[in-house]
Chain A
C-alpha cells in the first residue's frame, strides 16, 4: 500500500460551459426558431443571425470504448470536437457550417450509426439494465431494445409518424424505463417462490412485510426457522418483495411474461400529461429477439401510423377513436384484466352514455 488514500473532491455537477460547442455557448438563451431540413437534422437560427445544424444519430447506449472513440473521431473530423447526448441515448453533432452536414451524415452511416430520431419519427427506446447488469431483472433490456430498433429502423430514419413516438422497456415492474407512448414491461404471473433456508439470514423481515402493496406477506416459522409466507390468493405478483429479499424469487423463465402499455405522454402539449395504460399481457419472454413482443408493438405502430391525424400522439389518437376501436384496429383483445380495480379505479370507468358505434 504505497499510495496514500485519496479523499474525494466533492465537486458535484460540472459547469457545462467548457463542454459546449462555441456556437451554443455564444447564442445561449437567444434562439429564435428551428426547422428540420431532413430527418435527423435540426437547423436552429438565433436572434443574432447565427445558425447551427445538429445531426442526430442512434447509438446502442451500452457502448464499448472503441465505439465511443469512433464517435469522437467523427466529431473531431466534422463536428469541431463537440457532441451531446439526448435523453434517449442519441448522439448529436453540432455544426456551424452547413456544408459539413452531408459529409457528416455519410460518415456516421458508414460506421453504422443511423441518422434520424427527430420530429415525427420514432426515436430510440428508453433503455434499462436487464440481465447485463441489474440484480432483479426478469428479462434483458439491451437485447429487447436492439431487436425492436432493428424492426423499426425505417421509422427511426424517417419522419412518417403522425407525431413523435417514444418507446420504453423495463425488465421489472419497477419500470425504470419510465412511461412512453408504447412501453414493454415485465409482468410476473406467479407468486414468489421462497427459499426458506435463506430468508432469516438475508432479509429484514418487517421491511419485506411492509413492502407488499396488498399485505400478502406475513412472518412465519417454516421448518423451525423464521421465514415469510405469502397469501397466494392475495398476491398480485408485483415483485416488490424481491429487491429487499432475494430469496423471494419472483423471476421465472416461463411465468414472467411481458405486457404492453400505451398512451403515456409526458408533454403538456394539447392535453395534460397522461399515465400509460396496459393493453396486452402474457407475451412470452422469448430471448434473444422477442418476436411476439415485436409483433404486437409493430401492429400498434402500424395502426397508429395509418389512422392518427397529424400532431396526434398515441394518446390523442385513442382519445379520438375510443378504446373499442383501438383494440379493433390493433387486433388486440380487451380482457377482464384490463379493467382497473386498484385504488382510484372508478375514475377509469365510463360514467356516461358516451359510446361510439
Chain B
C-alpha cells in the first residue's frame, strides 16, 4: 500500500470517456508506489498551472554518453525542497526495440518486471523516434535497471547529437508491398553506428528510417536524415484472377474514378483485351473476359496508389531495391524539409547489396560529421552547401531524377559545360 493520493480534479476528467485512460493506469501504479502518487501530484500541478516543471541534467550509465533522459523536479518549496519528493527524479531510459516492433509476451513481461522493480512501472510503447521508453526512474536505479535490460539482449537508444534509434515498417514480415528486407537493412545499418548512438559526438542528431515501399508507413521522407524507401525497376506484377475478382466487386465507375484517374502520371488505361499494347514495358491485368487494365511501366513513378486499391491484382515487380532520400526534418530552424532523392535505385537482394547500403550510410555520416555546422541537420547542411557539393562530397553521380525541374534562373557560370558533358559521356561509355 502506498501513501494517500493527492487530489487530482483535472486528471480525474481524463478518466472519463471510452478511450483507454493513461490516468487510470497511473492511479493503478500509485496504489503500490509512493513514486507514482507524487508523479500524479506533479502532473496535476502542471494541469492546474498550465506549465511544465521538469528540468534536464546529466544522468547516464557506465560506458555510454547518452540514451538516458534526465528529469528533475522544479516544483520546490521556499526552502528549495521538492514538494513531490518521491517524484523528485523522473528519468527516462530509451531502449531500441526489435525492427518491426515484434514481441513475444515473455519479453514484454520481463520488461514489466524490471520496471516494477527499478522504475515507476510506466512504459511508453513507443516514442515517436521508435524507442521503448521506460519512463520514471531515480538516478540511483538507472544503472541496475539498464543492466537488467541489457542482460535481456536489449541496448540503449540514441539521444542528443547522435545517431538516433531507428524504425522500420512491418514490411516483408506481413506486407505484400514490401520491396526489401526492411528489418535486415535497419539492423545492419544501425548496428554499424553503435558508437555514434552511444557516444554523442556528431554536429546534431541523425535519423535513419526504413519503409518497404512508397507508402512510407514510417514517414521516413519527412522525418529521417536518410530515408530508405522500397521500390522496383522492372514491370509491375499482375494477377488476372484477382483482377477479375476486384472488378466484379467494384465495377467500372470505381475503376475509372478511384484508380485510372488518380494515377499521377497517367500510366494507366482501360483497353479491350485485344488492344493491349505488346512490348517490354507494358503489363496488363484482366478485368473480365474482354477488358484489361494496361500499365505503361515507363510512365509509372511507383507511387503505390493503384496497387493499394487493387492489392494482389497489381503488385510491385521482382527486381527490387530502394530509393534513398537525404535531409528530411521538422520545423526548427529553417522550416520543414522533405528529404531529397540522391539514389534513384539501389538493388537490395544479396548480402553484398545490403553491405553497399551500409557503406553509403557510413560515407554520409562521415561527410555530415566533417561538414555540418554545430546544431545543423543534414537538410540544412545541403541547403547551405548545395546538392551538387553534397553529391560530390559523398561520391554520387548526378541524375535528372533528383530534380523536380532544372534550374529556373541564369545565375550560374556554365564555363566548363563541354568538359562536364564529355565527363558524363565518358563515364556512361565506360559503364
Contacts and interface: CB of A to CB of B under 8 A. Distances in A.
Contact of B187 (A13, A83, A86, A138): A13
Given A8-B198, A28-B172, A85-B125, 15 more contacts: A6-B150, A12-B197, A13-B186, A33-B311, A33-B313, A64-B25, A64-B26, A81-B104, A135-B56, A143-B47, A179-B330, A210-B375, A254-B50, A273-B216, A311-B305
A204 B73 CA distance: 22
A251 B43 CA distance: 16
Given A266-B216, A268-B214, A342-B335, A179 B222 contact: yes
Contacts of A121: none
Interface in B332-362: 332-336, 338
A10 B62 CA distance: 12
Given A33-B312, A68-B112, A309-B257, A275 B21 contact: no
B54 A133 contact: yes
B109 interface: yes
Nearest to B18: A153
A221 B157 CA distance: 41
B14 A85 contact: no
B52 A29 contact: no
B interface, size bucket: 35 or more
Interface in A1-44: 5-16, 18-21, 24-25, 27-29, 31-35, 44
B141 interface: no
B43 A16 contact: no
A270 interface: yes
Interface of A: 5-16, 18-21, 24-25, 27-29, 31-35, 44-45, 52, 54, 58-69, 71-72, 75-76, 81-87, 89, 91, 94, 112-114, 126-128, 130-140, 142-143, 146-147, 149-150, 153, 173-179, 207, 210-211, 213, 238, 240, 246, 251, 253-254, 256, 264, 266-271, 273, 275-276, 285, 287-289, 309-311, 342-344
Contacts, number: 360
A60 B21 contact: yes
Interface in B49-93: 49-56, 61-64, 69, 71, 90, 92
B277 to A, nearest CB: 24
A12 B176 contact: no
B215 A12 contact: no
21 contacts: A8-B155, A8-B198, A10-B63, A11-B150, A16-B99, A16-B187, A28-B172, A29-B172, A31-B174, A64-B122, A72-B108, A85-B126, A130-B52, A137-B52, A143-B47, A146-B21, A150-B18, A174-B331, A175-B331, A246-B55, A268-B215
B128 A62 contact: no
Given A59-B125, A251-B52, A267-B304, A131 B16 contact: no
A92 to B, nearest CB: 8
A63 B71 contact: no
Contacts of B135: 62, 132-133
State the main secondary structure of chain B at its contact with A.
mixed
A98 B190 CA distance: 37
Given A10-B194, A65-B121, A153-B19, A18 B304 contact: no
B190 to A, nearest CB: 5
A8 B218 CA distance: 29
B52 A131 contact: yes
A143 B254 CA distance: 40
A142 B22 contact: yes
B7 to A, nearest CB: 14
B105 A267 contact: no
B313 to A, nearest CB: 8
Contacts of A254: 50
Contacts of B181: 28-29
Nearest to B128: A176
A84 B62 contact: no
B333 A213 contact: yes
B153 A253 contact: no
Contacts of B28: 64, 66-67
B179 to A, nearest CB: 10
A131 B153 CA distance: 31
Which residue, of A132, A142, A146, A343, has the highest number of chain B Cβ atoms within 10 A? Answer: A132
